[in-house]
Amino acid sequence: MRHNLFLVVKESLNNIVCHARASEVSLAIAVTENSISVVIEDNGRGFGEEAQNNGGNGLKNMRQRMTEIGGEFQVKTTPNAGTRISFSCPCLIKK
């Protein structure tokens, strides 16, 4: 699970650096006894639905990684208004 989470965060940040032309990025991580949630937002150029469905493998791979560990993956983007990627998965914290 850790490896898949790491790779999804890494891919998200790589996409921002390579494609978004963002001047600001935020990363929020919330951990509870039952789940871990990550939200990554930027104020970059965003992209249209066509790029989401027909672009490279990055978004598809991130979605697949989260599915493999029983998680959820969402992308909200608007051309010229930034992108918000959020994902979460079940997690049991050992005490």
Higher pLDDT, 52 or 74: 74
pLDDT at residue number 50: 61
pLDDT at residue number 86: 98
Higher pLDDT, 14 or 92: 14
Residues 6 or more apart whose CB falls under 8 angstroms from that of 75 comprise: 52, 59, 83, 84, 85
pLDDT at residue number 94: 67
Rounded CA-CA distance 26/79 in Å is 18
Cβ-contact 90, 70 below 8 angstroms = yes
Please write the tens of the pLDDT for every residue from 3-62. Answer: 999 999 999 999 999 999 999 999 999 999 899 999 999 999 998 766 666 667 889 999
Domains assigned to the chain? 2-90 (3.30.565.10)
